[in-house]
């Protein structure tokens, strides 16, 4: 007879490695899984959780988020724990909340994270300190953004950085890595980084080599130039010698639908040559970011997610707004800025092809500060499990879980996460395989998903019976399990 704090009994364990589910109990003590198997003889000092045949899986790792500030202001992290997410990777797309004190209003897309006063961490260590002082419900892996570094050291973001500026950015990055940052992100499609040549990015990324850091990239062009952009991503990986994660991979604009055949072939060839090239995606055919004219031009339809001067337009169609105002779309955009938008511009076949591709990870790319956010913020993980794995047959439930857990933990160097096994951290989700599904829509984006029964982070329950609890067991995770 053995003792522990909690036993989850009578569940079907999907362990995060991709192998078939097994009927097993799971014992938890001290924030870790201490045993897996027939534990009917075990005593639980705190709680026996009856799984009743539901799936017991590792908590999901949301590898692409913009939750930098959400962790601090809404530590219950309801949009994420309601989906079974137990770890978020923050600081993506080149934009991180730290380290930066902006000179004025943060330029788009930095303003996706907040206003001037929200950027209050001069050093990355200050952000880490704030997280440590007030932990959230979920764990975090934090990246530093290339655009954030540019805003910190450059007077004009519309040009390439000088050698001196690049060196200064590298020094700040080194400092962040020493303080617990896991890597660098870049967003070369954005006005804050468009002018940066690949060499600037590769020079910076090479600083990650010694620290074992990772580089994530919102590519320069996800539309007509998407193939060239994948080539650029691979070249940056080759030049810098660090693994590259291609973020939210997609093909934007009707004339570019189908190009994922070429991009995925390039990624497969790079992998075969021994390069670390990874990717993530979200399961929707609309994207979302700040309102930008060149993004509007290739979209079938655009919805306004927020507008500072015209909050009454939130949730409305851009073409209709322009028509009502009796102006052309460009003029309407000028009036709406600063603003955010949802762009319907991808194809379902590309989405499925990218999702089904070997080892593609799942990242919500949710925008938690938008007034009417894209439904991916609340729906991504249950949508992959329900709509694409169970109902769509894109892959097995075991494979879907592997991509969200064991595989993501491997890529981000989280040695003791992403699996149900003795010794692993007790990040666990209990879900109903028959019922799990997203419920958030473009019209009603805040609907929590169905079928997520219980979520534990480091052994503590953070979501139960359709509501967040008051527990805040999350921590900042370092690569390779260090702490
Ligand atoms: Zn992005
Ligand atoms: Cu993003």
pLDDT, tens digit (0-9, with 9 covering 90-100), for 321-373: 999 999 999 999 999 999 999 999 999 999 999 999 999 999 999 999 999 99
Please count the residues of the chain: 483
Percent pLDDT > 90 in the chain is 99
Cβ count near 221 (within 10 Å): 18
Q: How far apart are CA 17 and CA 58, in angstroms?
A: 10
Distance from the CA of 373 to the center of ligand 2, in angstroms? 13
Average pLDDT, the chain: 97
Q: How far apart are CA 267 and CA 290, in angstroms?
A: 28
Map 342-403 to HEC letters.
EEECCCHHHHHHHHHCCCCEECCCCCCCCCCCCCHHHHHHHHHHHHHHHHCCCCCHHHHHHH
Cβ count near 321 (within 10 Å): 22
Q: How far is CA 306 from CA 33, 35, 183, 265, 374, in A?
A: 43, 48, 30, 37, 11
CATH class as words, domain 3-58+420-437+447-467? mainly beta
Provide the pairing of β-strand 277-281 with 286-290. Answer: unpaired
Distance from the CA of 301 to the center of ligand 2, in angstroms? 20
Domain with CATH 2.30.40.10 in the chain: 3-58+420-437+447-467
pTM over 0.95: yes
pLDDT of residue 482: 42
Distance from the CA of 249 to the center of ligand 1, in angstroms? 9
Residues around ion ligand 1, judged by CB within 5 A, are: 93, 218
Distance from the CA of 190 to the center of ligand 1, in angstroms? 9
pLDDT, tens digit (0-9, with 9 covering 90-100), for 246-303: 999 999 999 999 999 999 999 999 999 999 999 999 999 999 999 999 999 999 999 9
For 316, phi and psi rounded to 5 degrees? -95, 160
Domain with CATH 3.20.20.140 in the chain: 60-411
pLDDT, tens digit (0-9, with 9 covering 90-100), for 412-455: 999 999 999 999 999 999 999 999 999 999 999 999 999 999 99
Whether 483 has a pLDDT exceeding 50, the answer reads no
Peptide bond connecting 304 to the previous residue in cis, omega within 30 degrees of 0: no
3-state secondary structure of 164: helix
pLDDT of residue 478: 86
For 121, phi and psi rounded to 5 degrees? -120, 95
- CA geometry: angle at 295 spanning 257 and 313, to 5°? 120
3-state secondary structure of 469: coil
CATH class as words, domain 60-411? alpha beta
Residues around ion ligand 2, judged by CB within 5 A, are: 92-93, 365
Distance from the CA of 448 to the center of ligand 1, in angstroms? 23
Q: What are the tokens at 189?
A: 């499609």
């Amino acid at each position: 007879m053995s003792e522990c704090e909690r036993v989850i009994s009578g569940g079907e364990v999907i362990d995060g490695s991709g192998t078939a589910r097994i009927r097993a109990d799971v014992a938890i003590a001290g924030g870790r899984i201490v045993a897996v198997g027939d534990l009917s003889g075990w005593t639980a000092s705190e709680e026996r959780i009856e799984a009743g045949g539901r799936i017991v899986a590792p908590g999901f790792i949301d590898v692409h988020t913009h939750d930098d500030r959400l962790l601090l202001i809404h530590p219950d992290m309801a949009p994420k724990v309601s989906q079974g997410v137990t770890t978020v990777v923050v600081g993506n797309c080149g934009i991180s909340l730290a380290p930066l004190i902006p000179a004025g209003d943060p330029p788009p897309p930095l303003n996706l994270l907040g206003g001037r006063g929200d950027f209050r961490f001069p050093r990355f260590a200050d952000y880490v300190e704030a997280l440590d002082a007030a932990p959230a419900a979920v764990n975090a892996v934090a990246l530093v953004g290339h655009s954030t570094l540019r805003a910190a050291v450059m007077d004009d973001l519309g040009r390439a950085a000088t050698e001196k500026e690049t060196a200064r950015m590298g020094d700040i990055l080194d400092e962040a890595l020493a303080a617990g940052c896991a890597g660098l992100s870049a967003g070369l499609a954005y006005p804050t980084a468009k002018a940066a040549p690949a060499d600037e990015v590769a020079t910076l990324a090479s600083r990650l080599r010694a620290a074992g850091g990772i580089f994530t990239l919102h590519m320069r062009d996800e539309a007509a130039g998407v193939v060239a952009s994948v080539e650029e991503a691979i070249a940056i990986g080759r030049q810098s010698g660090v693994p590259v994660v291609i973020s939210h991979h997609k093909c934007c604009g009707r004339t570019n639908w189908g190009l994922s055949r070429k991009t995925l072939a390039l990624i497969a060839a790079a992998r075969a040559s021994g390069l670390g090239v990874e990717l993530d995606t979200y399961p929707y055919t609309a994207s979302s970011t700040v309102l930008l004219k060149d993004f509007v031009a290739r979209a079938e339809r655009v919805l306004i997610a927020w507008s500072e001067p015209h909050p009454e337009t939130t949730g409305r169609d851009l073409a209709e707004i322009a028509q009502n105002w009796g102006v052309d779309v460009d003029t309407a955009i000028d009036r709406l800025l600063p603003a955010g938008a949802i762009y319907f511009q991808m194809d379902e076949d590309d989405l499925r092809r990218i999702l089904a591709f070997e080892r593609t990870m799942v990242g919500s790319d949710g925008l938690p500060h938008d007034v009417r956010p894209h439904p991916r913020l609340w729906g991504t993980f249950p949508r992959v499990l329900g709509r694409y794995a169970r109902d769509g047959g894109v892959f097995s439930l075991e494979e879907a879980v592997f991509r969200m857990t064991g595989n993501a933990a491997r890529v981000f160097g989280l040695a003791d996460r992403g699996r149900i096994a003795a010794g692993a951290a007790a990040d666990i989700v209990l879900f109903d395989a028959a019922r799990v599904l997203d419920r958030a829509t473009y019209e009603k984006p805040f609907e929590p998903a169905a079928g997520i029964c219980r979520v534990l982070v480091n052994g503590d329950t953070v979501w139960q019976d359709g509501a967040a609890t008051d527990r805040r067991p999350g921590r900042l995770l370092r690569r390779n399990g260090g702490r």
